[in-house]
Structure 1
Amino acid sequence: MSLRRSTQNVVTDAGDARITWFAAAEPRLVLAAGHGAGGGIEARDLRALAAALPGAGVTVALVEQPWRVAGKKVAPAPKTLDTGWRGLWPALAARGVPVVAGGRSAGARVACRTAAELGALAVLALSFPLHPPGRPEKSRAGELLGAGVPTLVVQGGNDPFGRPEEFPPGPYELAEVPHGDHGFAVPKKSGTTEGQAMDVLTAAVTGWIASLG
C-alpha cells in the first residue's frame, strides 16, 4: 500500500515547526507523534507507526519541533518544547477528527504535560523517560500520572530510562517490547528481530487505539 504522505510547515511562538502527514483514506483519528531530544522523526518506532496505522483508519502526523527544523543539535527546555507543541495543535486538530497526542521520550513528556489543556483524546507515550539512567530518584512519574486522559505507555524491557517493572501503578496501560532499549533496538542474542519488535509495538498501539471512544 502506498502512503499518502505530505508535509506542512507551521509557525509557532518557538519557531517554525513541521508536520509530516501519513493520511488514512477515511480517518477516524489523528495520532500526532513528536520525536525525542536526541533524534527526529526517523526513529524506528515512529516510522513503524506511520506505516501501520493509516491502514487502520488512523492518520499519523509526525511532528518536528522548531529546534529540529532549525538544524540545532540540542533540545531546548521543556517549557519551550511545550510552546512549540501548543502552536502546532490547531493544525493537528484542523482535520475534524479527534487527536491522540503522542511522542517518544521527551516527546512523550510533552504530550503528557499538555494533553488535558489541549483537548487530546488520549496520550501515547513511547519510551517514556521515567528517570535519567541510573537515577531512579529523579522520577518524572508525576507527568505521566497527571496526563488526565487515557494513556498507553509502550516501553522497552531493557530501557535504562525506566524498565516496565519500575513504573508505578496508575491510570494508564503499559505494553512491553521485550529486550528493547530506549530506541526499541533489540540485541541479536535475544532472538528477536527489529521487525518482530516493531510488530509488538504496532499491534499494542493498534489494539489500544481501537478501544478508544
Structure 2
Amino acid sequence: MAWTVPMAERSVSIPIPGSSPVSGVLHAPRTRAKRSGVAVVLGHGAGNDMHAPLLVDVAGRLLARGHTVLRFNFVYKELGRKAPDRPPLLEKAYEAAIERALAERPERLVIGGKSMGGRIASLLAARGVRADGLLFLGYPLHPAGKRAPLRDAHLPAISAPLLFLQGTRDALCDLALLRPVLKRLKKRVTLHVIEGGDHSLDLLKSAGRTRESVLEEVDLAIDGWLKARVWAPGPKKK
C-alpha cells in the first residue's frame, strides 16, 4: 500500500550552462524524515512537456510512497518550440535536472521518463552519469510504424537496473523487437507489459479497464521494482 505522508510540490528553475534555464516541478515529502531516500527524475516525450498526464500521475504516486520526484522541461518546450533540441542540448538539460535532484541529497537516484525523456536518460547512463536505476515509461525503440533503425546500441553499456513499462499497442516499440534486445541485457532488465496500452500506456475504451486501474498497475510495478532492484536493503551509496 502507498504510504501516507505530508506531501508538497513546488516549481523550481533549473539553470543550464550556456543556455536559458528551464522549469521543473519538484515533488517531495514535507519533512526529510518522511523521505524514502529515493529521488526520481522524469523527462518528457518529444511531443509533450513536463505536464504530460502520465508523468504527473506517476510523480504523484511516487510521492505518495515517500519518494522525491523532479519532472522538468527541455529547453525547446520551455521556449514554446515544437521541434526537439539537438541531442547535446537535450542531454545538457537532463544533466542539469539530475544536479537539481541530487541537491535534495537522495541515497538512490533513478532517472528516466516518457519516450524521448527516458532515451536521453539512458544515453547519459551509458556514458557514466550517475544512475542507480533507469525507469522507461514507453521506450522509443524505433520510429513510429517502422522496424528500423533500432535505438538500442548504447543500452548494453548501462550497468544499473532497468525497468521497461511498455504497452502492447506501442507504435514506437514493437515487443517482438524489444524482447531480443532485453534478453541480451540479462538480469539487469525488468519488463512490465501493459496489455492493450499504447505509447502513453493508454487503452482503448473497448479494453474494459479504467485509466485508474492502469495507473495502479504501473504504480505497483514501479514500487515492486524499486524495492527489489534499487531500494533494496544493504549498503547505500553516498
Give the TM-score range, shorter chain: over 0.9
2:57 corresponds, among 48, 65, 69, to 48
Structure 2 residue 171 is matched with structure 1 residue 160: yes
Q: Is the 8 A contact 2:41 2:113 kept in 1?
A: yes
Query: Deviation at 1:79?
Result: 2.1
Structure 2 residue 220 is matched with structure 1 residue 203: yes
2:105 corresponds, among 89, 92, 96, to 96
Larger radius of gyration: 2
1:5 corresponds, among 1, 5, 9, to 9
Q: Which runs of 5+ in 1 are unaligned?
A: none
Q: CA RMSD in A?
A: 1.7
1:105 corresponds, among 109, 115, 123, to 115
Cα distance in 1 between the residues matched to 2:87 and 2:78: 17
Query: Deviation at 1:61?
Result: 0.9
Runs of 4 or more, structure 1, over 6 Å off, are none
Q: Residue 204 of structure 2 corresponds to which residue in structure 1?
A: 187
Give deviations 1:77-113, integer Å, cap 9, x for gaps: 2222011112222211111112101111000111101
Query: Deviation at 1:119?
Result: 1.1
What are the equivalent positions in structure 2 for 1:48-127 lying under 5 Å apart? 48-97=57-106, 98-115=108-125, 117-127=128-138
Cα distance in 2 between the residues matched to 1:166 and 1:201: 22
Higher alpha-carbon deviation: 25-34 or 120-129 = 25-34
Q: Is the 8 A contact 2:7 2:64 kept in 1?
A: no
Higher alpha-carbon deviation: 6-15 or 105-114 = 6-15
Q: Is the 8 A contact 1:114 1:147 kept in 2?
A: no
Letter in 2 for 1:111: A
Q: Is the 8 A contact 1:52 1:202 kept in 2?
A: yes
Structure 2-normalised TM-score? 0.83
Structure 1-normalised TM-score? 0.93
Query: Structure 1 residues 51 and 89, CA, compared in 2 at 3 Å: closer, same or farther?
Result: closer
Cα distance in 2 between the residues matched to 1:179 and 1:42: 23
What are the equivalent positions in structure 2 for 1:125-136 lying under 5 Å apart? 125-136=136-147
Q: When the two structures are aligned, how many residues end up with a matched partner?
A: 213
Cα distance in 2 between the residues matched to 1:118 and 1:6: 26
2:26 corresponds, among 21, 26, 36, to 21
